[in-house]
Structure 1
């Protein structure tokens, strides 16, 4: 399921970059900056799922008295439910394998065509002359063309065009977009993104060509090549493509103003909103009691026979007063020895919790003993989470109730029969949501 979440989040980023480009940048002429913007979109899409904002929320977790729980056993249904997430993941993985295979076949066809041609090294480029009816293209330092399809003057311009593609490493852009489509084959924005990258690369080279050549002659060459129907490989940078009209329009478009490049920053608030909406993780933690609060003596108001008394060291003073009264009562009858003549009504105000607890006593304050059968003194039960035995130091309060699917409680002989001697103190079997 984590893989599907990764794909969904990265697809969202690709969609945001695509929309931002189409709305704000499509008609701008700073093609080099647009190239880096589109490449940044791919890398941000891959990194976005790992950008998590952690939000800690403190909650009051109730203490569970295991001695008060009854024996419950949830019978599992004999019919297993279909794991639809696994089905979707399997189908998606099969799609990725199919498109990866298709991409590898295209690469194999490309190198097969290169190996069949006549290779000539010109500087750092390898000129590959082929006889196949294919449009001229470049792939890294390989420039492939059929000389019989072009005149000498046309071929010179076409080779110059492809050399610029090779020099600026545009094949890397094409490989990245193809791998993006393999990973996000179900995302239509990924396919549109690949096409958008390819078109912008053509705009970039066209703009560089016309700065050193007659613009009308170059446009005429583009129109002339569009008449021929020649095969090409999508993984390469080709001189001819079906967007000749748009390329000619862009060649005649006036240059964009420099401040228009700031439009690229509009994608940043979009990404921020996406992070807040989809990448915020809430962690619930139990509130811990500070040691400083424990050492503070609570404020106590004592009412003795309808008379209010303020006591600084409340507990100690009240104990001494009670002892004196108990000693005075010792001379009375044995029946009255255990009682105190005066009644003490007092309130304990806990500043940390902002609560007031009223207490009424007719006997001296004594040490409160915890009952033997209290869960505070009872041995800890065996805790099993998702089939794994937890250590004795495991704190049940760390569990988030919303993540628990069901709990099985085993006590006494039923716990021993099922888990052996280690279950003599009871067993709590917990299954969490997947």
Structure 2
């Protein structure tokens, strides 16, 4: 979900950049209005689309869980056999991060909704404080004090301090807002502000729409009134405004300069409408990105689950478990994976040891193959000429030996560490057979640094292959560092 929100915000930012750079100064007001209304909606929809043609253009990466590497003295390794874990006694946190974020989002929505309610109440009080009269299709509310001028659908609010000449100009202006339903546009953005209160770009979109609506109304009024007279009308008084974001305010001082500049601007040539074609490569780029990237939230859950399994694996392997207990553990893990994501596949050997976890598409016709069925797995030096299963087992043993023999155990002395220390490392064997994108998570930065150093010094390997194409393969490697006391 977090990845989806970040994509939405990024797409909205890109749409705004295109608007400000290429479209904002053009006089294609109707097209710009459609653009400002459509692109926020597009930003919510595009992350949901996955185009298989784009996805197939990027080689699939596979994830395999390596057995845990035990680092430490001989007595420390023997201590593992005496240690056990009570699975049924484990506890979970009261609230997950996801639940906390959801609660925060709902709280923000409630606050935003209350603020919108206050705006409606303020609007209602203004309406009740004035004198109502009809002028064609418009309902005019004459406010007893001030020089305010704004509209809400077909209702126009005019301050009693405005001269009759100015009121006539304002009514022409507000008739355009009423006829083109500009208030509906602003209410649309009010709804977005409630739903996405945390997203500052929604407020920017609403501001751009407010500017555009004033340009539209000015361009219509100027056809019925002398341009110079209209300029003088805008500049001749000091005006008061009411801060109600879903009303069309005539006297918005921050917009005066922009409105006058746009009034002086010549009508844009039709050839400039080709600028809207910029949306084609922009949208295609967004679709390519969403199709070729996995959901971060899913990836994080997979990584977390892998690490939890790896964390338990060393203890479970050494624990004397009955057949029923071991089968119950296998069923628990398989059920957990199916609840998290139906597209996950877990491979457990007869002893209950997790050997790999892979992403597998439900559509078997798309050519994606999990690690367990990859044509040729990455091959560690010295493991050449073996079957896939033998090569995987050989590679796991070689990596265990390499890490155990190269890990600097003196790092514990510098960090003053004692007891069990677990480090989780993820790395990729890329299409060239090199170790890449290594990441580590551990209880101390020095342990993370040492784990990354060891993993990055592993020798070059033969890359994995699928359907004759070299592919990247992700590995998750848990390291258990037993510190002698």
Maintained 8 Å contact 1:133/1:230: no
The structure 2 residue matched to 1:234, chosen from 237, 245, 249, is 245
* Correspondences of 1:8-87 after superposition (within 5 Å): 8-54=6-52, 55=55, 75=87, 77-78=90-91, 80=93, 83-87=96-100
User: Greater RCO between the two (CA within 8 Å, min separation 6)?
Assistant: 2
Q: 1: CA distance between counterparts of 2:249 and 2:60?
A: 59
* Correspondences of 1:207-246 after superposition (within 5 Å): 207-225=219-237, 227-241=238-252, 242-246=254-258
Question: Corresponding residue for 1:112?
Answer: 125
The structure 1 residue matched to 2:108, chosen from 84, 95, 112, is 95
Q: What SS class does the counterpart of residue 139 from structure 2 fall into?
A: strand
Maintained 8 Å contact 2:33/2:209: yes
Maintained 8 Å contact 1:107/1:235: no
Q: 2: CA distance between counterparts of 1:122 and 1:426?
A: 77
1:278 and 2:290 are equivalent in the alignment: yes
- How far residue 77 of structure 1 moved from its aligned partner, in angstroms, is 4.8
Q: 2: CA distance between counterparts of 1:426 and 1:238?
A: 66
* Correspondences of 1:8-407 after superposition (within 5 Å): 8-54=6-52, 55=55, 75=87, 77-78=90-91, 80=93, 83-133=96-146, 135-146=148-159, 148-225=160-237, 227-241=238-252, 242-280=254-292, 404=306, 405-406=308-309
TM (normalized to structure 2)? Answer: 0.55
Cα RMSD over matched residues?
3.5
Inter-CA distance 73–15: structure 2 relative to 1 (3 Å threshold): same
Q: Deviation per CA, 1:206-259: give whole Å up to 9, x if none.
A: 01111111011111111124x233434221001111210111111111221111
- How far residue 134 of structure 1 moved from its aligned partner, in angstroms, is 5.5
Q: 2: CA distance between counterparts of 1:39 and 1:108?
A: 27
- How far residue 51 of structure 1 moved from its aligned partner, in angstroms, is 2.0
Q: 2: CA distance between counterparts of 1:152 and 1:191?
A: 35
- How far residue 39 of structure 1 moved from its aligned partner, in angstroms, is 0.9
Q: Deviation per CA, 1:111-130: give whole Å up to 9, x if none.
A: 23223322223333212222
Maintained 8 Å contact 2:149/2:250: yes
Which one has a larger percent helix, Structure 1 or Structure 2? 2
TM (normalized to structure 1)? Answer: 0.61
Q: 1: CA distance between counterparts of 2:255 and 2:303?
A: 58
- How far residue 103 of structure 1 moved from its aligned partner, in angstroms, is 1.4
Q: Deviation per CA, 1:65-100: give whole Å up to 9, x if none.
A: xxxxx9x96646557386333333322332222122
- How far residue 143 of structure 1 moved from its aligned partner, in angstroms, is 1.3
Q: 2: CA distance between counterparts of 1:5 and 1:133?
A: 48
Question: Corresponding residue for 1:374?
Answer: none
Q: 2: CA distance between counterparts of 1:150 and 1:58?
A: 68
Question: Corresponding residue for 2:322?
Answer: 414
Q: Deviation per CA, 1:166-186: give whole Å up to 9, x if none.
A: 100000111112222222322
Maintained 8 Å contact 2:46/2:286: no
Aligned residues: 302
Maintained 8 Å contact 1:134/1:231: no
Q: Moved runs in structure 1, 4+ residues, more than 6 A? A: 56-62, 400-403, 407-413
Maintained 8 Å contact 1:134/1:232: no
Q: What SS class does the counterpart of residue 109 from structure 1 fall into?
A: helix
Inter-CA distance 281–61: structure 2 relative to 1 (3 Å threshold): closer
Inter-CA distance 402–6: structure 2 relative to 1 (3 Å threshold): closer
Q: 2: CA distance between counterparts of 1:107 and 1:129?
A: 18
Inter-CA distance 195–401: structure 2 relative to 1 (3 Å threshold): closer
Q: 2: CA distance between counterparts of 1:61 and 1:168?
A: 55
Q: 2: CA distance between counterparts of 1:19 and 1:144?
A: 35
Question: Corresponding residue for 2:332?
Answer: 429
Gaps of 5+ in 1: 63-69, 284-399
Q: What SS class does the counterpart of residue 213 from structure 1 fall into?
A: coil
Q: Deviation per CA, 1:122-180: give whole Å up to 9, x if none.
A: 3332122221436211111111112x221111111101111110100000111112222
Q: 2: CA distance between counterparts of 1:211 and 1:45?
A: 36
Maintained 8 Å contact 2:240/2:251: no
Q: 2: CA distance between counterparts of 1:61 and 1:186?
A: 35
Task: Please say which of residues 112-121 and 200-209 is displaced more in the overlay.
Answer: 112-121
Maintained 8 Å contact 2:147/2:158: yes
Q: 1: CA distance between counterparts of 2:278 and 2:63?
A: 43
Inter-CA distance 230–48: structure 2 relative to 1 (3 Å threshold): same
